Amino acid sequence: MKGSNAILLSGAPGSYARYPKWMHTFENQLSLDFRTKQSNAMLLYTDDGGVRGNFYSLTIANRKLQLDF
């Protein structure tokens, strides 16, 4: 998905944005800019729908960025 516009979430619990499935190849790039006042938050989560148990989770935990996969 190229050139997506910025979105603003309300900050309410459970608020999120959902995008269409990304047709990935062997090598992809994803660029994101986040701005938040929260010291703990889920920024990004994606998975393979339970096919192989693959996922990526980008969070802020105690003001530190954390990537789990």
Q: For residue 59, what are the CA distances in angstroms to 9, 10, 34, 63?
A: 16, 18, 11, 9
Domains of the chain, residue spans: 39-69
Q: What is the pLDDT along the chain (69 residues), one digit of tens a residue?
A: 455 677 778 778 888 888 777 777 778 777 878 888 889 988 888 888 888 888 999 999 999 999 999
Which pLDDT belongs to residue 26?
76
Which pLDDT belongs to residue 4?
60
Q: What's the pTM value of the predicted model, to 2 decimals?
A: 0.65
Q: Which two tokens mark 30?
A: 């994803």
Which pLDDT belongs to residue 2?
57
